[in-house]
Each structure stands twice: as structure tokens, then as C-alpha cells.
Structure 1
Amino acid sequence: MDELPELTSQDLTHLRRCVDLAREALADGDEPFGSVLVDPQGAVLREDRNRTAGGDQTRHPELELARWAAAHVAPEVRPACTVYTSGEHCPMCAAGHAWVGLGRIVYAGSTAQLTEWRHGWGLPAGPVAPLPINDVAPGLPVAGPALELADELRELHRQCAERDVAS
């Protein structure tokens, strides 16, 4: 995996926004995930959050941003864009990202972290294998996790798990 040893202050700023979006998603009854698409100059092009509460489990923000980029960002610009996300892309989102031709992915929380947290809370595994991004899309540059955001992310996912078990 092509992970960077340290995240930049710009990376952390965008990742914090992703965590805010994840918090919004949780408050709205969705799973806590948020993502931001940034152009090569560092400007935010689009942001989104998880919208799966309605029953469509494909409404992940990473896939929504890839779809949006396919329609609104020139193909030659996409590889220089960065997607920031609160959680490492699932296989579906990693594939969508790669097929659209977007560039770097920076995530706050890893698939391994989320899998460990969920296991520790006694939750069942999801229906899709918890693969790292580069197992699905080997050429994508990735960075993460942001250890300084781990406690906050774990708490959001714990709240989600408790809500789901209670319902």
C-alpha cells in the first residue's frame, strides 16, 4: 500500500470536515461516513455524507462523489483530484473511484480499525469483504489513517452500533 507516513495540515483540515459530515449523517439516521472532493488547487468541489438510511446501501459518499466527478470534472483533471473521507473506501467505492479515474484518497479511519471496533462490540461482519483500497484498485495513491481522529470516529461508530442494535 502506498500510505504516506504523515498527513499534511491541509489533509487534516479536510479530514475534520469529513468527520463533521459523518456526524451529520449519524444525526440524520445514516451510518457515520462523510467525504470531500478537492481539486488540484485545493478547492473543495463537492462534499457528501452517507445516505443509506432509506434502504439503499450503495448511497456511500465516496461513490456519490465519483459519480459526480464523472459528470462534472474533466477526465484529464480527475487524476489530480483528491478524495478525503472519514472511512477508508469499501470495495464498491474503491472500484468506482478507480473506474472514474480520480486520484489520491486520504482517509481518517481504516477498514482494519472499523472491522476491529465492530468485532469488539460483537457485531456481525458486513456482506462485503473488508478489503483495503489497494487490494481493489492497486494503482491508487492512498494515505491514512489519521490517528488523531480515531477516538472521535470510534465514538461515532459506537453510537451508530448502539442505535442499530436498539432498533
Structure 2
Amino acid sequence: MGYEPTAAELVHLNRCVELAAEALEAADEPFGSVLVSASGEVLFEDRNRTADGDQTRHPEFEIARWAARNLSADERRAATVFTSGEHCPMCSAAHGWVELGRIVYILSSAQLTAWRTELGVPPGPVTPFPIQQVVPGIRVDGPVAALESTMRDLHVRACTP
């Protein structure tokens, strides 16, 4: 069971895939995210920037920081974060603390964990909880089956020497 995005949402999700591919080309893990206003305007976008060793440089965390500095509380609550992968607990907490709105993700943490296990990649230092376990009551839609194989290919490339 997955989420079927609208045509407009699919544009933002495809941009997340492009950002994830850019991250991979820059030797970062393939994740990308886009913050969109209630009116559909792209407000901010980013990709993983962890290659230098700072594992907190996730795009969802950067979105939360940007939103806290640049949007009113009402604008944050009305915004949507589109992202290539379900937020990790750190990013979920940042999202919740700045009271951002809805999240739409392409692949779930459970999917990513299963893929990485299949590839023999050891688990990370943080347990991957679903977003709602960190931020109860938040609206979350995903995974998006239409883009899962593209994201799997990027993650396979990231995990294969």
C-alpha cells in the first residue's frame, strides 16, 4: 500500500529524486527534499551534505532550520515537505519542533533498512522510527511506489563500491 501523489506533488517528488542524485554525485548519501508553501511555491530545497563527516547535514533538518528563520508559525504549519526518504528521528524531531506541516516521502525507513540489509550494509547508529512515533498526529503520506525503484537504484549505487 502506498500513496498516489497528484501531478503537482509528483513534480516536487521528482525534484527530490534529482537532488538525491546530485547528492550521490557529490559523494553524499542520496537524499533530497523540497519545502513547498500552501500555495505550491517552492520555498527551499536541499540535499544530503554529509560527506565531510557531519551526519546532521540532512536536507530535512536544513529545511527545518530554514523554515524557523524565514517563515511565520502559520506558514510553517501550512507548508509541505516533499522528500526522497522518510525522515530519520533527528529530522522528524526538528520538523516537529518548528511545527512544519505535512510530509510526503518516496521511500520509507523500513524499505531503506531492508535494502541496506540486503546489500550487507551495517545499521546506522540511530534506530529508524516512523515519523509519527517521533511527531504524533502529523500528516504523513508515503511511500510513493512510482518512484521507489529509482530511489532503490540510487541507494544501491551508494552502497556498492
Task: Give the TM-score range, shorter chain.
Answer: over 0.9
Q: Give the count of matched residue pairs.
A: 161
> What is the CA–CA distance in structure 1 between the aligned matches of 2:8 and 2:134, rounded to whole Å?
26
Q: Which runs of 5+ in 1 are unaligned?
A: none
Equivalent residue number for residue 5 of structure 2: 7
What pairs with 1:53-92 in structure 2 (closer than 5 Å)? 53-92=51-90
SS at match of 1:59: coil
Query: Alpha-carbon deviation of 1:6?
Result: 2.6
Q: Please tell me the residue identity of whatever aligns with 1:153.
A: M
Equivalent residue number for residue 23 of structure 1: 21
Given the alignment of the two structures, is residue 32 of structure 1 paired with residue 30 of structure 2, yes or no?
A: yes
Query: Alpha-carbon deviation of 1:4?
Result: 7.5
> What is the CA–CA distance in structure 2 between the aligned matches of 1:123 and 1:105, rounded to whole Å?
27
Equivalent residue number for residue 108 of structure 2: 110
TM-score (norm 2): 0.97
Equivalent residue number for residue 160 of structure 2: 162
The alignment's C-alpha RMSD in Å is 1.2
Query: Alpha-carbon deviation of 1:14?
Result: 0.5
Q: Which runs of 5+ in 2 are unaligned?
A: none
Does the aligned pair in 1 maintain the 2:86–2:109 contact within 8 Å?
yes
Query: Alpha-carbon deviation of 1:113?
Result: 0.8
Equivalent residue number for residue 99 of structure 1: 97
Answer with 70-79 or 56-65: which moved more: 70-79
> What is the CA–CA distance in structure 2 between the aligned matches of 1:64 and 1:26, rounded to whole Å?
18
Does the aligned pair in 2 maintain the 1:88–1:132 contact within 8 Å?
yes
Does the aligned pair in 2 maintain the 1:110–1:145 contact within 8 Å?
yes
Kindly, what percent of the aligned residue pairs are identical? Answer: 58
SS at match of 1:112: helix
Decide whether aligned partners of structure 1 residues 69 and 159 sit closer, same or farther in structure 2, where only a CA change above 3 A counts.
same
> What is the CA–CA distance in structure 2 between the aligned matches of 1:21 and 1:63, rounded to whole Å?
15
